[in-house]
Amino acid sequence: MFKSTSTQASASDPNLKSKQQAAEAVFAYLEPWIDRHTVLGIGTGSTTNCFIELLSNLKGKFQGAVASSQATEAQLKAKGIETLDLNTTGTLPFYIDGADEFDPHLNLIKGGGGALTREKIVAACSDQFLCIVDQSKRVDVLGTFPLPIEVIPMARSYVGRQIVQLNGDPALREGFLSDNGNPIIDIHHLSISTPLDWEQRLNNIPGVVSVGLFAHRGADKIFMSTASGVEVLERPQFT
């Protein structure tokens, strides 16, 4: 079984420049807020890895970071950034992470890298969720990207059957276990026009650990890189 890994930023990634641009924009936004007491929450994925590269320039000027995955923890440590246990930090001022899809209300699908549960926990413990994406992640309605859910191993088939009843098309992520030792089911062919309802409905299935829909706690700001620069989108107040 493979463990959860981040999607590494690679030089052959056609979106690498866009991801770097988004990371640079969030870094510029954050820099004035960072002092020696600051602890940041850090997500998982290739866009977040671009941000970690930049963050390493501030090494020693802030306290450290809480990682949302083992892969991110290794990445932070490799850059000389101290990693902290969320149980010791209290609420974090900022959580910085990418997304697989976002809609106009800044609801997200996350978990393409399989780190959704820890991502959700760190996001929940943070005052502001700053999401960094390239324009390709924008959709009108979530669901083209298969929705990941993490499940307790013995509930895998049961959860799959419940998803079929909801007209979803579940596929076990083969050869993969999360950092928590659990399988991931990717739900294909959903059209998630009511993300709050879907998140609640799927969360209520016994055996579901977490759902990669970030609607109850969506992004507060999205830094989206486009051909003409980075746009900052704000979550509408009533969603």
With respect to ligand 5RP, which residue has the nearer C-beta, 45 or 168?
Answer: 45
Cα 202 to Cα 204: distance, rounded to the nearest angstrom: 5
With respect to ligand 5RP, which residue has the nearer C-beta, 20 or 46?
Answer: 46
Binding of residue 47 to ligand 5RP (CB under 6 A): yes
Which residues on adjacent β-strands are paired with residue 210? 150
Residue with tokens 């699908």: 109
Cα 122 to Cα 47: distance, rounded to the nearest angstrom: 17
73 tagged catalytic: no
Neighbours of 1 (CB within 10 A): 8
Binding of residue 45 to ligand 5RP (CB under 6 A): yes
Binding of residue 98 to ligand 5RP (CB under 6 A): yes
Binding of residue 114 to ligand 5RP (CB under 6 A): yes
Strands 39-42, 101-102: pairing is: unpaired
Cα 224 to Cα 229: distance, rounded to the nearest angstrom: 8
Q: Which of 18, 20, 46, 210 binds ligand 5RP (CB under 6 A)?
A: 46
- In the chain, at which residue ranges do the beta strands (DSSP E only) sit? 39-42, 64-67, 92-97, 101-102, 108-109, 126-134, 147-151, 169-172, 184-188, 208-211, 213-214, 221-226, 229-234
Q: Tell me the window of 32-40, 54-62, 106-114, 151-159 that interacts with ligand 5RP (CB under 6 A).
A: 106-114
The type of residue at 103 is D
Q: Which of 92, 94, 112, 230 binds ligand 5RP (CB under 6 A)?
A: 112
Q: Tell me the window of 24-32, 94-102, 199-207, 222-230 that interacts with ligand 5RP (CB under 6 A).
A: 94-102
- The residues, any chain, with a CB within 8 Å of residue 15's CB and separated by 6 or more, are 134, 136
Q: Which of 116, 123, 155, 224 binds ligand 5RP (CB under 6 A)?
A: 116
Q: Tell me the window of 33-41, 71-79, 92-100, 174-182 that interacts with ligand 5RP (CB under 6 A).
A: 92-100
Supply the minimum distance, in Å, between the C-beta of residue 86 and ligand 5RP: 17
Binding of residue 44 to ligand 5RP (CB under 6 A): yes
The residues annotated with a catalytic role in the active site are: 119
Residues that bind ligand 5RP (CB under 6 A): 7, 43-47, 97-100, 110-116, 119
